Structure 1
Amino acid sequence: MYLKNKNLWKVFVIILFLLTMLLFIIRPNAIPKIDSLFYSEPSILVIPLDDRPVNTYIPSKIGQIKNLKLSFIPDNMYRNPDKLLTWLEQEGVKKDEWVLSLDQVLYGGLVESRILNEDTLLAKKRLERLTKIKEEHPEIKIYAFSSQLRLAPTAFVSDDLDYYTNLRKWGILTDKVNRLHETSLIEELEKVEDSLGEQEINKYQRLRGKRLSVQLEAIHDTKKGVYESLWIGQDDASSVGIHVMERHRLIKETEEINATNITFFSGIDEATSLLVTAITSKKKGNEEKLLIHPIYTNPQEKNQYMPFSSETLEETVNNHVKMGKGNVSKNLEGSQLVLIINTPNTSDVQRDFVIKQVNNLIKKGKNVMVADVAIANKADEKFVKALIKNIPVPSLSSFSAWNTADNTIGLSLAHGIARFETKYNKGISQDQFFSHEELLFRSFLKDYIYKTKLYPTMESMAINQGYDPLSLMNGTEIMEEWLSEEIGVESEKLWLTEFKGYKDQNYKLNNLQSIKTALPWARLFEAQIDPKIE
Structure 2
Amino acid sequence: MMNRKIALIPIDARPVTRELPKQIAKIGGWEVLLPEKEMLGFLKRPGNIKSLSEWLLKVAPQVDGFVLSTDMLAYGGLVPSRINTEELQVILKRLELILHLKKTYPEKPIMAFSATMRISNNYVNEEEKEYWKDYGEEIWQYSYHTHRFVRTECEDSKTTVERLSAVIPTNILQDYLQTRERNFQVNLSLLDQVENGTLDVLVFPQDDTSEYGLNIEEQERLTDYVRKRQLSSKVFIYPGADEVANTLISRLIYTLENVEPPSFFPFYSGETGSHVHAMYEDRPICESVKGQIYAFGSYTVDNASDADIVFAVNVPGKRQGDLALQKFLGEVDTSHRNIGEWISRILHYVKRKKLVGIADVAYANGADPSMLPSLLDKVNLSTLCGFGAWNTAGNTLGTVVAQSAMVYLQKAKPSVPFEDVQARMEQQMVLRLLDDYLYQTIVRQQVRKAVKTDTISDETLLQEVTARFHEEAKVFLEKYSLTYEINDIYLPWNRTFEIGICLEEKGAN
TM over 0.5: yes
Letter in 1 for 2:239: S
* Residue 216, structure 1, aligned to residue 204, structure 2: no
CA distance in 2, matches of 1:189, 1:85: 42
Aligned to 1:75: 37
Which structure: greater helix fraction? 1
* Structure 2 counterpart of 1:117: 85
Residue matched to 1:461: 450
Alignment of 1:36-47 (within 5 A): 39-47=1-9
In structure 2, give the amino acid aligned to 1:449: L
Residue 448 of structure 1 deviates from its aligned partner by: 0.9
Match of 2:125 among 142, 155, 178: 155
Per-residue deviation at 1:444? 0.9
Matches within 5 A, 1:100-179: 100-152=68-120, 155-156=125-126, 163-179=135-151
Q: Give the Å deviation of 1:138.
A: 2.3
Query: Out of 237, 244, 261, which is 1:264 matched to?
Result: 237
Query: What is the Cα-based RMSD across aligned positions, in Å?
Result: 2.4
Count matched residues: 478
Maintained 8 Å contact 2:3/2:62 = no
Judge conservation of contact 1:394–1:498 (CA < 8 Å) in 2: no
User: Corresponding residue for 2:24?
Assistant: 62
Q: In structure 2, what is the equivalent of residue 435 of structure 1?
A: 424
Q: Which amino acid aligns with 1:183?
A: E
Mapping of 1:76-475 within 5 angstroms?
76-78=38-40, 79-152=47-120, 155-156=125-126, 163-259=135-231, 260-281=233-254, 288-345=260-317, 347=334, 350-423=338-411, 425-426=413-414, 428=417, 431-463=420-452, 467-468=453-454, 475=457
Write out per-residue CA displacement over residues 365-421 of structure 1, whole angstroms, 9 at most, x where no aligned residue.
Answer: 222211111111122211112212332234222111111111111111111221232
Alpha-carbon distance, 1:191 to partner: 4.0
1:491 aligns with one of 436, 460, 473: 473
Unaligned runs of 5+ in 2: 41-46, 318-332
**Percent identity over paired residues:** 24
CA distance in 2, matches of 1:499, 1:57: 25
Question: What's the offset of the Cα at 1:91?
Answer: 4.0
Q: For the Cα contact (< 8 Å) 2:410–2:418, is it kept in 1?
A: no
Quick one: distance in 2 between partners of 1:395 and 1:173? 48
> Which consecutive unaligned segments of at least 5 residues does structure 1 have?
1-38, 501-510
Q: Give the drift of 1:305.
A: 1.8
Q: Residues 486 and 501 of structure 2 are in contact (CA less than 8 Å); yes or no, is this contact kept in structure 1?
A: no
Whole-angstrom CA distance in 1 between matches of 2:110 and 2:362: 35
Q: Deviations over 1:121-179 (max 9, x none)?
A: 11111122321232233233211111111123973189956633332222111111233
Looking at structure 2, the residues matched to 166 and 527 of structure 1 have their Cα atoms a distance apart, in angstroms, of 31
Whole-angstrom distance in 1 between the partners of 2:204 and 2:384: 30
Tell me: CA distance 1:255–1:104, structure 2 relative to 1, closer, same or farther (3 Å): same
Query: TM-score, structure 2 length as denominator?
Result: 0.87
Secondary structure of the structure 2 residue equivalent to 1:117: coil
Q: Assess if the C-alpha contact under 8 Å between 2:386 and 2:429 holds in 1.
A: yes
- Alignment check: 8 A CA contact 1:98 1:141 kept: yes
1:517 aligned onto 2:489: yes
One-letter amino acid of the structure 1 residue matched with residue 87 of structure 2: D
How far residue 296 of structure 1 moved from its aligned partner, in angstroms, is 1.2
User: Contact 2:390–2:396 (CA<8 Å) still a contact in 1?
Assistant: yes
Secondary structure, in 3 states, of the residue corresponding to 1:99?
strand
The answer as to whether partners of 2:2 and 2:64 remain within 8 angstroms in 1 is: no
Q: Which residue of 2 aligns with 1:28?
A: none
Whether the 8 Å CA contact 2:262–2:308 is kept in 1: the answer is yes
The letter of the residue matching 2:272 is: Q
Contact persistence 1:234–1:310 (CA under 8 A): no
